Amino acid sequence: MPIFWFMHSAEADESVILVDAADRPIGSAPKLDVHRDGRLHRAFSVFVFDPRGRLLLQRRALGKYHSGGLWSNTCCGHPRPGETTAAAAVRRLQEEMGFGCSLQPAGTIVYRAALAEGLWEHEYDHLFTGRYNGDPRPDPSEVAEWRWVEMNDLLRELGDRPSSFTVWFEPALREVLQRIAA
């Protein structure tokens, strides 16, 4: 049975914002349809650090329709039609990880990658960073587990086991790290 059959019906019906190469909205479509045909759409990835500079990672729940069980950034998602990307990032951080914090824009990346079950990611991904000092209270339907990780350990792990991470994580992380260093 294909992975996407396990998607919650509300998640399957949720629409995403289709964009052109300059991130201008050109329409909307159901999220699953967009991931089936690989159309470019708007997304966001949130990277939350603690006061020690450790990054909060999540391992996606096994029931997610793609990339289940893989490690990724603190949270990610798609703005809904009519919703700003920044507001969507704040919303999803609360929904997925059970906390909120101030988020700052940290650049964008565009990527296209094949996923399992014939699905595609083709995203204009807006990156955000934040600071938080505490433990998350994640939604178990979204997050299997979480951990704070030192950057040197994370970079070593990415080099040793890249297939343990989502396809967007490394390019997004590299952009965030360049922005932080600048």
How far does Cα 163 stand from its chain's mean position? 16
Beta bridge partners of 41: 18, 123
In 115-142 the beta strands, taken as DSSP E runs, fall at 120-131
Q: Which of 44, 27, 19, 34 is nearest to 125 (CA)?
A: 44
Q: Could you tell me where the DSSP H helices lie in 42-182? A: 85-92, 151-160, 169-181
Beta bridge partners of 114: 120
User: Catalytic amino acids?
Assistant: 76, 123
Distance separating alpha carbons of residues 22 and 115, to the nearest angstrom: 24
Q: Which of 4, 107, 2 is nearest to 47 (CA)?
A: 107
Distance separating alpha carbons of residues 138 and 21, to the nearest angstrom: 33
